[in-house]
Structure 1
Amino acid sequence: MRIFKNTLLVILFFYAFGIYSARAQNDTSQVKKEKKKISFRHPDDNAFDMSSFLLEHKGLLPIPILITEPAVGYGGGAALIYFHNRKKQYNSYVPPDITGGVGLITENGTWAAGAFHAHTFGENRVRTLTALIKPSVKINYYGNNSELLSKNPITINLNSWLVFQQAQVRLAKSNFYLGASYSYFQSDITLDTLPGRPLINLLIKQLNVNSVISTIKPMVVYDNRDNVFTPTKGINAEVSCNYSAQWLGSSDDYGVINTKFLGYVPVVSRLFSSYRFQGSYLLGDAPFYAYPFVSLRGIPAMRYQSNNTLVAETEWRYNIYKRYSILAFTGLGKAFQSTSNFNDIDWAYNVGTGFRYEIAKTLGTHMGVDFAWGNAKDFAFYIVFGTSWF
């Protein structure tokens, strides 16, 4: 569910922020022990800038959150982050340990609350992320290429708990990372009935279950991007496998192989291109709500869902004036049961545009808004901090 994804993205943002702030500190200056004065103006151009605030902030930090996901409606929330002071000194900068809480709610009644902790062991060798999230989600279910449900979706209600643990180790000084995560996702699932469909409603009521997904996810990552927030060159590639089994406490035995390739290529001095290719491939029989789905801006979550998904997207950004940029993007995606019926399934596609302001120059981070249209019938806008791709 993308609402779970949105909550985790808030958490992973601060996880990534700690990683990249380490790079920024090492690249821009020597580690200094004295406290610096926080400024919202950058010394290079005197423009509004949050680099100093993000890099030098200590203690509690409140963060507002705006949700514009079409699958759950508009909403908002907040995160409260605490930056721990590190007592031990290292030769290079080590990001602070971070503890926080987050809460979200949307107009259709979906909500989530959670807490998390990001920790760095040693001198940037091992990073861990722990999270506990309580989501309650209402979202439309369009079926696994079901002709009936694709036109008459039913609402799924998931009252859930999610426990998440991740650890990642960098291999020496290379751009390769090995890691693994574990997630425990327990849900009480109910489905809304369809008016005037008594026979179908009998079948729907049989789908009301208590379900557990207990998953381990080993991963191999390659990342040589020049910036984790708003990259302009480099590659971020990942191969991972979600393995859910009854011996882990799961209700079902299945696996999902995930592949991801994000490429960033500068074209000329002010024009930057980026490319995204992702795939998910289901092995076994997963719960109906856990099947892979096409994730594109402008396409509601779970709108196109099946055993396998493929997504390709490109985004082009042009720096028009100082810190200001405009961008355009388009993409294709397909959810299909097997290669035998690949051509029988409709493509999902999107087109969109947006603008960015370089809000943290030291971190090379841009912020702005995306406007996206999906399959010429769905519209959504997104507040974006950094990149839209994770």
Structure 2
Amino acid sequence: MNDLPCRLAMIVLTFVAAVSEAQAQEASSVPPVVTSQPMDSAGPPAPVKKESKFHRNFFDETDGKLDFSNFMAKGGFFPMPVIITEPAVDGGFGIVAQFITIPKDNPKRVTRRMLGAVKTGNGSYGYGYFQSGSAFGDRVSYKFGVGRGKVTLKAYPEILPSGLEYTNKYDYGALASVRLHLADPRFSLGPLFDFRKLHSRIDLDIEDLPERFSDFERKLQTGALGFGVHFDNRDNAMTPTQGYNIYAEAKFNDSAFGSDRNFQIYDVHGYGFHKFSPDWRLGAKVELDAIRGRYPVYFASSINLRGIEARRYQGETAVSTEVELTRQISPRWALLGFAGLGFTDAGGARIFDDSGAKIAGGAGFRYRIARKLGLDAGIDVAYGPSGAVFYLQFGHAWAFNLD
């Protein structure tokens, strides 16, 4: 998806879905907590203080460190707070109520139902419902979500380089995908669905805007059908250390599907992860996002890198590349450095300027918050064209765009 506004309410839900994917992968392998009883050679076993339920849920039985593995692997109801650090919306906070069903006979056939809401510092908000699961003996997987909300952002068109603040209020946004897994389960393909209704307005009184900017101050309905092809052999859904996730998707907004505008969105993303040794690993990504046709201005593609404000550099085509080197300094702690390069092409419509090369980079740390699930959490500090930005990370920094 190219437009941040419609995803605001959904992003916390899809993120938690990825967490529960890790839960499903490990649910059948979480061992019970074993409490050893020291023996006195001169008598019966010494009494052992019974661990509290809280301690069993939130501390690891092997090293005694803070760890959420046992709590997360239980399934059932799982509330999750979400902290938003994106400067484009002045940060914010969210909460997700997650309900997980994990069959005992097939722990990987997990069904997730999530209800969540977010509120940001610039008055944006969103709430929605997300569900995912599988059918036909795991040959088919599905995801769908619905949400409402209001998002205030800035666009930077060619004629207003200082920025144009606008607000999109969504009556609804509905997204869905269905994927058939082939004989080789690493490959999958299937249709995509994307329907929205919104009202957009400019937050300043500006006269004599070009006709292309009539996208603002009006209601808009979009309807798109599309198709995606995916490859995924990562070793972990949330904090991968080995493998690849590559996919290509195309969506076609057309009047035949109820859209007021005819335009097309194309995304080709590739992510790779490689271990050089138990202590060193490398990650790399390439994202190509493009939009064509009579697209609304605020749907334009944009650079997506740590250190660059969301939606700051837009165009008809955007390329974002990043590499990340991680050093594991202990079983729990890791340090990492990253650097990225992105650019946009304004295209024939000339709504935006070509961005030129935009470089950003930084460093961060990770703590293995769920050892049995291979799940990390931490903080990144990145520096880009507009200065320093920090991010709270739960799972990999690219987790939002991974399958």
Q: Do they fold alike, i.e. is TM over 0.5? A: yes
Distance 1:364 1:206 in 2: 45
Aligned residue in 2 for 1:64: 81
Contact 2:59/2:66 (8 A) holds in 1: yes
Pick closer, same or farther for the CA change 1:162–1:198 going to 2, 3 Å.
closer
Q: In structure 2, what is the equivalent of residue 125 of structure 1?
A: 139
1:302 matched to which residue of 2?
311
> Structure with the greater relative contact order (CA < 8 A, sep ≥ 6): 1 or 2?
2
Structure 2 counterpart of 1:24, one-letter code:
E
**SS at 1:387's partner residue?**
coil
Please say which of residues 309-318 and 346-355 is displaced more in the overlay. 346-355
Partner of 2:333: 324
Note if 1:77 corresponds to 2:86.
Answer: no
Aligned residue in 1 for 2:356: 346
Distance 1:373 1:2, change over 3 A: farther
Shift of 1:350: 1.0
Unaligned residue ranges in structure 1 (runs of 5+): 31-36
Partner Cα distance (1:276, 1:202) in 2: 37
Flag the structure with larger Rg: 2
Deviation at 1:200, TM superposition (A): 4.7
Question: In 2, distance between residues paired with 1:252 and 1:203?
Answer: 13
1:33 equivalent in structure 2: none
Amino acid at match of 1:11: L
Aligned counterpart in structure 1 of residue 110 of structure 2, from 69, 91, 96: 96
2:393 alignment partner in structure 1: 384
Q: Which amino acid aligns with 1:157?
A: T
Count of aligned pairs between the two proteins: 372
TM-score (norm 1): 0.88
What is the CA-CA distance between 1:2 and the residue it aligns to? Answer: 2.7
Query: Of the candidates 40, 44, 53, which is equivalent to residue 71 of structure 2?
Result: 53
Residue 336 (structure 1) aligns with: 345
Matching residue within 9, 17, 23 for 1:21: 23
Find the aligned partners of 2:369 and 2:285 in 1 and give their Cα distance: 24
Out of 133, 139, 142, the residue aligned to residue 153 of structure 2 is: 139
Q: Percent identity?
A: 24
1:275 to 259, 269, 284: 284
| 1:360 equivalent among 363, 370, 379 | 370
- 2:46 is matched with which residue? none
Displacement of 1:10 in angstroms is 2.1
**What SS class does the counterpart of residue 280 from structure 1 fall into?**
strand
Query: What is the distance in 2 between the residues matched to 1:22 and 1:335?
Result: 38
| Aligned-CA RMSD value | 2.6
In structure 2, stretches of 5+ residues that fail to align are: 33-52
Partner of 1:112: 126
Supply the AA of the counterpart residue of 2:217: N
Task: Check 1:189–1:233 CA distance in 2 against 1; reply closer, same or farther (3 A cut).
Answer: same
What SS class does the counterpart of residue 15 from structure 1 fall into?
helix
Equivalent residue for 1:189? 200
CA distance in 1, matches of 2:257, 2:148: 21
Q: Tell me what 2:169 maps to.
A: 159
Aligned-partner SS, 1:149? coil
Q: Which amino acid in 1 is paired with 2:117?
A: G
2:190 to 172, 179, 185: 179
Contact 2:95 2:117 in 1 (8 A): yes
CA distance in 1, matches of 2:215, 2:181: 47
Q: Secondary structure at the match of 1:328?
A: strand
Q: 1:230 aligns with which of 225, 234, 239?
A: 239
- In the TM superposition, residue 95 of structure 1 has moved relative to its aligned partner by 3.8
Amino acid corresponding to residue 128 of structure 1 in structure 2: Y
**Distance change (3 Å), C-alpha of 1:180 and 1:15:** farther
TM-score, length-scaled by structure 2: 0.85
